[in-house]
Amino acid sequence: MTDFPVRDHRYLSLKVCTSHNRQNNEIVICTHLKASNIEHPGTPFVRMILDSFSIVSSTGNQHQCLLYQPLGMSYTEFLDLFLNKQMPEALIQRSMQLILLGLDYLHKAKVVHTDISANNILQGITDLTALSEIEDGETNQPIARKVLDDRTIYISRPMPINTGLPVLCDFGEARIGDKHKGDVMPGIYRAPEVILDMEWDSKVDIWAVGLTTWDLLETRNLFFARKDGLLNDEQHLAEMVSLLGPPPLEFIRRSDKCLQYWDENTNWKGSIPIPEQSFEIRERSLEGDVRTMFLHFLRSALAWLPKERLLAEDLARHAFLMQPLLAAGDLKEHS
């Protein structure tokens, strides 16, 4: 990704793509969103393609190029800047609330993101001085590079810290429509219906929001989901049972694959034992009422049955995310 000035003195980000199909999908999604013509308060928290074009490399390969508004570092990088990776609780609450507003916009336009994590939440840029400094730095002291016969490889400049609002990015794996089948979502973020080859919908994004909020607050993943160093579905499901309890019979009946792991009474029959843990045991960052609200928030996002996970617009108003506004007196308790 490269930020560069254009003739009207705006800064834009240029993404030169290597995967043609994935980036074509991003163009399709953004075209669909623009055509949906939905007015929604969440639109500022979703990164749209401003324009696109193609170029041909010196080796004859065609590359799709996408133009975006420039953004700062990802929340994964942002988290590393805090002492012991402890991002302020209120910052996490407000950030995830705004991301949920953006997600509600996507869902109302019948778009499922499928790839939500801290890697795909970027800081907005409010002070363009940071971009000017990058430009000046490149002019006065060009970044190190390696020149090869067919291309030049540049070291990336670190993005400056910004205080802009969070933006949800990357529609490379997004889907349009209400119901879908097939494998999506990064390994440990997969919702149970995805692991078990069931039909899935926008509620997979709600599952991912719950896990991302946990990652930011607890500074470690909720699920390990590996056996002998490899991603393992049975291990993943055993961990889900330990935190959520056994799935309801209604869930079991949706896929024959469930019979590999549960009997007809929803009793676990996998070879991997259920870990001894719970949300209450695992959660270590909060205390008192805020902790209680957070655990309720998690259970509102992480449920076996997708219909039991809250909609994005409802989860955005959850007491846990509203708590900083209430504490500051910006809202009344009954609002």
Distance CA 288, CA 60 (A): 61
- Is 115 noted as a catalytic residue in this protein? yes
Selected catalytic residue, list 115, 170, 205, 233: 115
Nearest to residue 273, comparing CAs of 238, 304, 301? 238
Burial class (CB in 10 A: 0-12, 13-18, 19+), 85: middle
List phi, psi (to 5°) of 276.
-90, 95
Distance CA 219, CA 79 (A): 8
Distance CA 185, CA 209 (A): 12
CA 94 to chain centre: 15
Nearest to residue 171, comparing CAs of 195, 213, 205, 194? 205
Burial class (CB in 10 A: 0-12, 13-18, 19+), 228: exposed
Longest dimension (CA), the chain: 70
Sign of CA dihedral 215, 159, 46, 189: negative
Distance CA 191, CA 295 (A): 18
Residues taking part in catalysis: 115
